[in-house]
């Protein structure tokens, strides 16, 4: 028998389905995950230089003089808040429109929670499709005619911080941040719980690779390199960078100079 999520989780899920509509569950569940896995994790990463300065300095990939100032972090916070508002109102608008038109939810709200096998399968598909959507969108935004109009703001931080994962123009935020995460599990009509797991995973990934720390086997090195050199490391998992030969060793030049 293929294992499913635990009985207490199943009981809780059934109760939530009784108490709330599918649109309310999707909207508020997604908002809570954004709060925890984007804002919460970003706050932890950004607070490290102030709460544990020695530990932070030991694990930071780039020099202190390249780190953003307090005023730059405040500007980042305001821009990201605007983008989060865009995401929230767009999501709410789609749900309201679906309800008005009588369209079924984009994700499944089955009473039975997905099996472990289904979750693993859909997460794998989601990671691959996000890689495809993000890589080509990101690379397109580096076209000389589009870069200054759309993508240049994101490269303001040559030594990125976690919050800067969503520091972008509104156009970039919609096409490079919202759609590549929303579309993949819609395609396979995944269970909403699987989507939430996928969203949490992707938010942890994007905050970590923008964090500027060498945690998780130095996963931020590749993206730090992209922020320094621009035309390398466009993707999220490296598959299409390998295929298109845009992969870099992921070691920022400032780090090499110290060695």
Q: How far is CA 60 from CA 72, 163, 207, 212, in A?
A: 18, 15, 14, 6
Alpha helix stretches (DSSP H) within the chain:
7-19, 22-34, 41-51, 53-59, 70-101, 116-141, 170-172, 179-187, 192-209, 215-218, 220-229, 239-244, 253-258
Q: Is the pLDDT of residue 254 over 80?
A: no
Q: Which residues are bridge partners to 191 per DSSP?
A: 108
pLDDT digits (tens, 9 = 90+) for 151-181: 999 998 877 889 999 999 999 999 999 999 9
Tell me the average pLDDT across 64-90: 91
pLDDT at 109 over 90: yes
Contact 186, 98 (CB under 8 A): no
- The model's pLDDT over 121-144, given as tens digits with 9 standing for 90+, comes to 999 999 999 999 999 999 999 999
For residues 18-22, average pLDDT: 96
């Amino acid at each position: 028998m293929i294992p499913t999520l635990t009985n207490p989780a199943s009981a809780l899920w059934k109760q939530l389905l009784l108490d709330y509509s599918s649109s309310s569950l999707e909207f508020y569940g997604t908002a809570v995950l954004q709060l925890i896995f984007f804002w919460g994790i970003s706050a932890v990463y950004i607070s490290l230089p102030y709460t544990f300065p020695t530990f932070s300095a030991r694990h930071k990939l780039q020099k202190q003089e390249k780190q953003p100032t307090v005023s730059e972090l405040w500007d980042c916070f305001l821009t990201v808040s605007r983008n989060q508002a865009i995401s929230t109102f767009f999501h709410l608008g789609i749900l309201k429109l679906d309800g008005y038109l009588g369209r079924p939810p984009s994700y499944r709200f089955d009473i039975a929670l997905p099996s472990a096998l289904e979750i693993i399968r859909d997460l794998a598909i989601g990671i691959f499709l996000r890689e495809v959507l993000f890589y080509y969108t990101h690379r397109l935004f580096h076209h000389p005619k589009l870069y200054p109009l759309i993508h240049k703001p994101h490269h303001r931080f040559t030594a990125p911080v976690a919050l800067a994962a969503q520091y972008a123009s509104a156009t970039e935020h919609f096409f490079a941040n919202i759609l590549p995460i929303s579309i993949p599990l819609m395609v396979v009509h995944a269970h909403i719980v699987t989507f939430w797991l996928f969203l949490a995973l992707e938010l942890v990934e994007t905050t970590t690779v923008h964090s500027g720390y060498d945690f998780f086997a130095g996963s931020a090195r590749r993206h730090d390199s992209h922020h320094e050199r621009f035309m390398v490391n466009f993707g999220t998992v490296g598959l299409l960078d390998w295929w298109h030969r845009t992969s870099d060793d992921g070691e920022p030049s400032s780090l090499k100079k110290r060695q």
